[in-house]
Chains A and B, each alone.
Chain A
Amino acid sequence: MREKITREEVEKVARLARLECSAAEIDLLADQFEAIMARVEQLNELNTDTVEPTSHAVLLENVFRADEVQDSIGVEQALRNAPLQAQDCFAVPKVIE
């Protein structure tokens, strides 16, 4: 039997997903996740021991093409939506001191 979804678990997934939630949001989400989990656990009624998982509805095969240079949008276009740029690159907060 699964343990009830805890506030700590919700805080952990928030951290993993790089999201910040208020204490009230965490409480609400813990309750909602518990309800959703309880609902989706209906899948356990089905015995799937010998069933293969489906990742895509159509059979996907690797697609190959010749390794040829093609047109691309260029540095200026690629950077035009950048919140911050420097020296033709995306600029981010300092990572290494």
Chain B
Amino acid sequence: MELTDLTIHEMVRQLRGGELSAVALTEACLKRIGATDTHINAFITVCREEALAAARQADDRLAQARQIQQDAPMLTGIPVALKDLFVTAEIRTTCASKMLADFIPPYEGAVVRKLKEQGAVIVGKLNMDEFAMGSSSESSAYGAVRNPWDLGRVSGGSSGGSAACVAARQVPASLGTDTGGSIRQPASHCGVVGLKPTYGRVSRSGVVPLASSLDQVGPLTRNVRDCAIMLQAIAGYDPADSTSVNTPVPDYLAGLEEGVAGKKIGMPQEYFNSELDPEVKRAVEKVVETYRNLGAEVVEMSLPHSKYAVSCCYLLSAAEASSNMARYDGVRFGTRVDPGKGLVEMYTATRSQGFGAEVKRRIMFGTLALSSDYYDAYYVKAQKVRTLIREDFTAAFSEVDYILTPATPASAFALGDKNADPLLMYQSDVFTVAANLAGICGLSLPCGSSSAGLPIGVQLLGRPFDEAGLLRIAYAYEQTETWHKAKPEL
């Protein structure tokens, strides 16, 4: 067993006990990244010197805590990596775009500050779809992320680097963002645990936005307990994010082992239709069987507006993105291309050369949906359908405690497979988008392996702010299987 195979939980114990040093652990991660990332391309920036300096500090903090017989903060000395849309003071933040190739943020994002206060060691910034627009991490200006289980396949996206780096054991945990499945879908494709918390649970301050009403920050880890540890570190109200919700943060580890007996879990029939790959269906049905054996009641149910979720989410996220992306104009930060013909020409040249094809497509489609000819019939229509989708979940959660679905319709697809057809690509988020529209929490966790040896994930959805319950039922399932312990050969 190598140091990089340890879970966060085990690392914390060994670091606090003095059996393991943060520097040794960080060096092991850096070595693993060096040995594997030429194949995977999970990292855009590795912060070697900063990480080692932070690890030395962590070792001091751990030694001091031992001396006064107290515990250092939970994440002291734990190496983590961040999707490259979290702004990090003094560390380049690219959003996987040429537009921000040299952008060094002048301030630290809220969750990054929280992680550092907890003693975490930031080892680098992770590859992703450009500005988080995509489902395969192929639209990055820094090359596609490759799936550690099969280098010819996608990692999923947009947080593809965040999922791949954890699966490849480069780091024990990462942060991603989820606008329509961008944490849960890559987690499923790479065989790791990915949590999208309730909208408002984690601050978005210092997170470069895609669609502000849908984006949420969450952790990716190798198991459920580690996921709870990470959520504990980042959850909470932040005055700097007016959409964060001021509701108390519970102790996510306290009730983790309480089990599922007496809980009612719903299986929405709309998610088990003919589009679903038979291997995925079988794996997810086995999870249902496990939950029944553990004492939960599993019932069939309906979320009647499910089939409209992708269209609804696409319209809203493109519209919001087109507005958010207006800030990249070559004036205050980022790339500037100035043909010397005037201001508008400078904007246009900057944006045309700075953005990749998918980003341009979404900005333009969003602009179209918001233009006077289409505003009511498309944008407002989608907002109304969003209400119907939200109401589906409100009604469902008055009948059941949790909802169980496949995380994705199939296991990871081949690189290049869906690039030519945007509609096909958007459809890969079909099971995850509704949670963003409804603002509820959702988690995907490994539950099987395809005949080609690719991970399969199950998705669990919970009531707003019931992350503790969601983690509890995920943990109960995880104790019955070994999928989360599987390690890709690299």
C-alpha gap A65/B199 in the complex (Å): 22
Main secondary structure of the interface of B (DSSP, over half): helix
Q: Is the CB of B364 within 8 A of A19?
A: yes
Known contacts: A40-B378, A57-B199. The answer to whether A51 contacts B422 by CB under 8 A is: no
Contact B103 A81 (CB under 8 A): yes
B104 in contact with A80 (CB, 8 Å): yes
Determine the residue in chain A with the shortest Cβ distance to B102. A81
Q: Is the CB of A43 within 8 A of B386?
A: no
Residues of A within 8 A of B382 (CB): 40, 43
> Are A52 and B387 within 8 A (Cβ)?
yes
Nearest chain-B residue to A79 (Cβ)? Answer: B332
Residues of B within 8 A of A84 (CB): 336
Contact of B348 among A19, A35, A46, A52 (CB under 8 A): A19
Q: Are A63 and B242 in contact (CB under 8 A)?
A: yes
Q: How far is the CA of A51 from the CA of B382 in the complex (A)?
A: 11
Q: Which residues B340-383 have CB closer than 8 A to chain A?
A: 340-349, 351-352, 355, 360-361, 363-365, 367-368, 371, 378, 380-383
B60-112, CB < 8 A from A: 103-104, 106-107
Selected from B106, B199, B322, B367, the residue in CB contact (under 8 A) with A58 is B199
CA A63 to CA B312, docked complex, whole Å = 28
B55 within 8 A of A: no
A residues less than 8 Å from B364 (CB atoms): 10, 13-14, 17, 19, 29, 33
Pick the contact of A73 from B106, B311, B322, B346 — CB < 8 Å?
B106
Q: Does A54 contact B (CB under 8 A)?
A: yes
Contact A20 B349 (CB under 8 A): yes
CB distance from A9 to the nearest CB of B (A): 7
A52/B199 in contact, CB under 8 A: no
Interface residues of A in 15-56 (CB under 8 A from B): 16-21, 29, 32-33, 35-37, 39-40, 42-46, 48, 51-56
Residue of B nearest to A76 (CB): B106
**Cβ A43 vs Cβ B381 within 8 A:** yes
With A40-B311, A43-B311 in contact, do A81 and B334 touch (Cβ < 8 Å)? yes
Report how far A10 CA is from B104 CA in the complex, Å. 34
B383 and A13 within 8 A (CB): no
**Assembled-state Cα–Cα distance A9/B369 (Å):** 12
A-contact bits for B424-444, CB 8 A (1 contact / 0 none) = 000000000000111110000
B438→A57 contact, CB < 8 A: yes
Chain B 163-210 residues near chain A, CB threshold 8 A: 199-200
B57 within 8 A of A: no
A-B pairs under 8 A by CB, number = 157
The residue from A16, A39, A63, A83 contacting B371, defined by CB atoms under 8 A apart: A16
B156: min CB distance to chain A, Å: 21
Question: Chain B 299-340, CB within 8 Å of chain A: the 1/0 string?
Answer: 000000101100110110000001000000111111110101
List the B side residues contacting A16 at CB < 8 Å: 367, 371
Do the beta carbons of B385 and A46 come within 8 Å of each other? Answer: yes
Alpha-carbon gap, A18 to B268, bound state (A): 43
| A95 in the interface (beta carbon within 8 A) | yes
Number of B positions contacting A (CB below 8 A)? 68
- Cβ A54 vs Cβ B239 within 8 A: no
State the CA gap A10–B363 with chains docked (Å). 12
Closest A residue to B368 by beta carbon equals A13
Residue contact B340 to A93, C-beta cutoff 8 Å: yes
A95–B220 CA distance with the chains assembled, in angstroms:
47
Closest chain A CB from B428 CB (angstroms): 14
A35 to B200, CA, bound (A): 34
Which residue on B lies nearest to A84, using beta carbons?
A: B336
Note all chain B residues with C-beta closer than 8 A to A48.
Answer: 381, 384-385, 387-388
Task: Determine whether the beta carbon of A51 is less than 8 Å from that of B384.
Answer: yes
- Chain B residues contacting A81 (CB-CB under 8 Å) are 103-104, 106, 332-334
Partner of A42, one of B239, B308, B352, B384: B308
Query: Do A43 and B308 touch across chains, with their CB atoms under 8 A apart?
Result: yes
Chain B residues contacting A95 (CB-CB under 8 Å) are 342-343
Beta-carbon contact of A19 and B315 below 8 Å = no
In the bound assembly, the distance between CA atoms of A16 and B384 in angstroms comes to 26
A86 at the B interface (CB under 8 A): no
Contact B423 A43 (CB under 8 A): no
> Which residues of the partner chain A approach B343 to less than 8 Å between Cβ atoms?
92-95
Shortest 4 CB-CB distances between A and B: which pairs?
A57-B439, A53-B383, A83-B336, A81-B333
7 A-B residue pairings within 8 Å (CB atoms): A5-B368, A51-B388, A52-B387, A65-B239, A77-B106, A83-B330, A93-B338
Interface residues of A (CB under 8 A from B): 5, 9-10, 12-14, 16-21, 29, 32-33, 35-37, 39-40, 42-46, 48, 51-58, 60, 63, 65, 73, 77-78, 80-84, 90, 92-95
A19-B363, A54-B383 are known; give 7 further A-B pairs, CB within 8 A: A16-B371, A48-B385, A57-B440, A58-B200, A81-B103, A81-B334, A90-B331
